[in-house]
Amino acid sequence: MAKSAAAAYAAEVDVSRHQSQGLYNAHVYALMADGTKAFLGKTTFEVVFKVTGTVTGENPDTNDAGFDAVFRVTEATPDITKVQIPVWCASDQSDIVWYDAEKVDDTTYKVKVRAVNHKGNLGTYKIHVYATLESGIRLFAGSANYEFNPPSVLLVFNDQQYGYRRIVLKNAPAGLKSVSFPAWSKKNGQDDIVWYTGKKNSSTEWQCVIDSAKHKDGGTFLVHCYGDGDTLLGGITFNFPASEFGKNGWVYEGGYKLYYDHNKLVTDVEYLIGKQSSYVLRVNRTTCTVTVYAYDSAKGGYIIPVKVFLCSVGTAKDPSPVGTFHTSAKYRWKAMNGPSFAQYATRIVDHVLFHSIPCPDYGQPWDQYQVPAYKYNLLGQPASQGCIRLQCASAKWIYDNCPIGTTVVIYDSPNPGPLGKPVLVPIPESQTWDPTDPSVNR
């Protein structure tokens, strides 16, 4: 019988599928013709990867309140594909940040560590380094401590609302009586400089909050810090995005005088202009809104939208009249059709009035705890017999602030007006009072 030739078999082990190094066990089986497996033997082999290097903190930068964490490779088997550097200062690691390192050259990796990313902590920073190899295995590659605790360092925190930045002075000289923070945009020099008064947080920490509305331009921003009047303690430069320097204050727009707060339209400016001697009320039947306008002496005309109310106008069967009218009477309580009654009624024309949600009249005494929830929840759509139904607070505002003779314009338009249309929060069917009524005991 002829002797068969010996066969050799080999398999390549992909270590990345095992994600570990050390001693490996390998068993060999043969698949027989009848489908069974036969054990042929076993062996072991060792996989060892190694990454070593030096870890340092370098280039302290007080103007940016940070430093560089640097890893320099001395040996790596096989090649490194990624380096991550976790850094923290707090003893409980509550301020830990994992940085993906930038590869500077074949042996050097670096990250910029900024104290503001670590809750503004100063002191001893822990720096660890992890290297990911071509095999996908991640190895601990070294660690170091770095002391970053400079005197009079400034930090910029973006932890306020849109359009604000908090500036914190840490490690200030003890005993300061006052600290001031002049701040300005780089564009056009110091034409928008504002001196902010510092608030004392502790004997060595002061802060202020920069408001973009007080400055002209965004982009590169500079802040200096002075103690007790004229002692320069430090400075910092940072980017304050121009997108946060939108409209602020009064703006003439679309034929109206509007007020913006950090790019957001303010939909009730009564607190800014105070009570006026006269108003114009514009009722939009299409959108069921009532917009209050005040007079602008600079441009002339009632072009300052003060506030907007949600309402219910007349249905198609009993429409509210279109036209320009002048109020002629007011009623604290008013008998209505139905029979029903309502609060804070102001007559517009004939039988058409502004008033609160009508309540069924079961006989007096009338009170504010008989409001039908379903009628309240119809606000924002036609539902009346021609009157302009309002939330109690809205009807009361007209009753209190708009004298007899106030101009009322009722019109149709798909545009609710410059202040938009308020959103109604419905009340449960079991509720029998208007949640805006100031006389309700909740």
Greatest C-alpha distance within the chain? 126
Model pTM? Answer: 0.62
Q: What pLDDT score does 6 carry?
A: 62
Using the predicted structure, report yes or no on whether residue 1 has a pLDDT greater than 50: no
**Structure confidence at residue 436 (pLDDT):** 97
CA dist., res. 274 & res. 6, Å (int) = 102
Residue pLDDT, tens place only, 359-381: 998 777 888 999 999 999 999 99
Question: Could you write out the DSSP letters of every residue in 225-276?
Answer: EEETTTEEEEEEEEEE-GGGS---EEEEETTEEEEEETTEE-S--HHHH---
5 pLDDT band, cuts 50/70/90, is low
pLDDT-derived band at 78 (thresholds 50, 70, 90) equals low
Whole-number Å distance between alpha carbons of 187 and 193 = 11
Q: Which of 410, 396, 419, 406 is nearest to 276 (CA)?
A: 406
Q: Is the peptide bond before 422 cis (omega within 30 degrees of 0)?
A: no
- Ordered DSSP codes for 195-219: EEEPEEEETTEEEEEEEGGGSS--E
Segment 405-428, tens digit of pLDDT: 999 999 999 999 999 999 999 999
Contacts of 283 (CB under 8 A, 6+ apart): 289, 290, 311, 313, 320, 388, 408, 409, 410, 411
Residues 6+ apart with CB under 8 A from 156: 116, 165, 166, 167, 168, 223, 236, 238
Q: Write out pLDDT tens, residues 265-286.
A: 999 999 999 999 999 999 999 9
Distance of alpha carbon 66 from its chain centroid, rounded? Answer: 26
* Three-state secondary-structure class, residue 54: strand
Q: Encode pLDDT of 39-65 as tens digits.
A: 888 888 777 677 889 999 999 998 889
Arithmetic mean of pLDDT over the chain: 92
**Which contiguous run of DSSP H or E holds residue 127?**
strand 123-133
Cβ(66)–Cβ(121) under 8 Å? no
Peptide bond into 365 cis (omega under 30): yes
250-411 CATH = 2.40.440.10
> Considering the chain, what percentage of its residues have pLDDT values greater than 70?
95
Q: Given the DSSP bridges, would you call strands 138-148 and 123-133 parallel, antiparallel or unpaired?
A: antiparallel
Rounded CA gap, 86 and 101, in Å?
10
Whether 117 and 89 have beta carbons less than 8 Å apart is answered as no
Angstrom CA distances, 386 to 312, 345, 346, stand at: 9, 14, 13
Measured CA to CA, the distance from residue 213 to residue 195 in angstroms comes to 14
The two domains 50-148 and 153-243 share their CATH topology (first three levels equal): yes
Does the domain spanning 153-243 belong to CATH 2.60.40.10?
Answer: yes
* Angstrom distance (rounded) from CA 80 to CA 51: 8
- The domain locations on the chain are 50-148, 153-243, 250-411
Q: Give the class (CATH, top level) of 50-148.
A: mainly beta
138-145, Cβ contacts within 8 angstroms, sequence gap of 24 or more: 138/84, 139/49, 139/50, 139/51, 141/51, 141/52, 141/53, 141/55, 141/71, 141/73, 141/83, 142/52, 142/53, 142/54, 142/55, 142/71, 143/55, 144/54, 144/55, 144/56, 144/57, 145/57
Strand partners, 301: none
What are the φ/ψ torsions at residue 12 (nearest 5 degrees)? -90, 125
Between the alpha carbon of residue 436 and those of residues 380, 383, 391, the distances in Å are 15, 19, 7
pLDDT above 90 covers a percentage of the chain that reads: 75
Instruction: Assign 139 a pLDDT band (cuts: 50, 70, 90).
Output: confident
Of 85 and 245, the one with more pLDDT: 85
Task: Answer whether 334's CB lies under 8 Å from 342's CB.
Answer: yes
pLDDT score of 114 more than 80: yes
Question: CB of 116 within 8 A of CB of 155?
Answer: yes
Structure confidence at residue 243 (pLDDT): 85
Segment 302-313 shows an average pLDDT of: 98
Q: Each residue of 240-270: pLDDT tens digit? A: 998 888 888 899 999 999 999 888 899 999 9
Higher-confidence residue of 27 and 330: namely 330
